[in-house]
Amino acid sequence: MRRFLARIKNLFSPDKQLSAQLEHLLGFKPKHLPYYQLALVHRSKLDELARNNERLEYLGDAFIGAIVGEYLFQKYPTQSEGFLTEMRSRIVRRETLNNVANRMGLQKMVQYNNRDRGFERSHIFGNALEALVGAVYLDQGYAKTRTFIIKQLLQKYVDIELMASTDTNYKNQLLNWAQVNKHTLSFDVMESKNERNRRMFSIAIIINDKPFCEGTAFNKKDAGQVAARKALALIAEQDSN
């Protein structure tokens, strides 16, 4: 155990500097720094399960989902289950959490294989944010974790009112466009490929039996959203000409 913690510590700047960075980021001083050090180690840096942040990511994901769900339930007392479910999904999805993590500056703190440029467009920083929440829970308990998620994440970095008034489901937008304009539309899964030991998925959008554009991501759902966003941008450009 001592060897393991020493190896983790060696990846980081001196403890005092990291502790100060975390205190600024979290809004409180960490009690047990190794939890946070582990939360900031991606598996591309240390592949052994006990030495990277994947287990903490699982823990943090569970708390984010539960606390965001409770927060929305209290904030919108007259809204339907469908609205609450959709809003929670938008907040906890990888794209949103990755954006929050980047705005917080986590991309400067996470230890990962930075020689692989593919990670810069992935969601590893959002995953690290989930792991950080897991570390907060282990270090500070549930009440402090709840306060951290609500005050330091939701209220600082997520515009919930704007999110509630806009539709960011690009796939649904595209399907609605096709229905209104009487076009046939399909999302076709292309062959997946490995890119530096990571599986990539491509989704092709077919409009009126003709290929229109493609989107690529680390899972099929995200690839479909990327493709739909590209298609909507192309349609808007064509309509403006």
For residue 70, count CB atoms less than 10 angstroms from its CB and return exposed for 0-12, middle for 13-18, buried for 19 or more. middle
> DSSP secondary-structure letter at 151?
I
Active site annotation includes 61: yes
CA-based R_g, the chain, Å: 20
> In angstroms, what CA-CA distances link 2 with 7, 8, 9?
9, 10, 10
Set 130, 195, 222, 239: catalytic member: 130
Q: Rounded distance, CA 197 to CA 203, Å?
A: 20
**Could you write out the DSSP letters of every residue in 189-229?**
E---EEETTEEEEEEEEEETTEEEEEEEESSHHHHHHHHHH
Beta bridge pairs of residue 185: 207
Set 57, 61, 139, 222: catalytic member: 61
- The answer to whether 178 and 236 are in contact (CB under 8 A) is no
Active site annotation includes 47: no
Beta bridge pairs of residue 31: none
CA dihedral 6, 10, 13, 14 (to 10 degrees): 40
> DSSP secondary-structure letter at 153?
I
- The catalytic residues are 61, 130
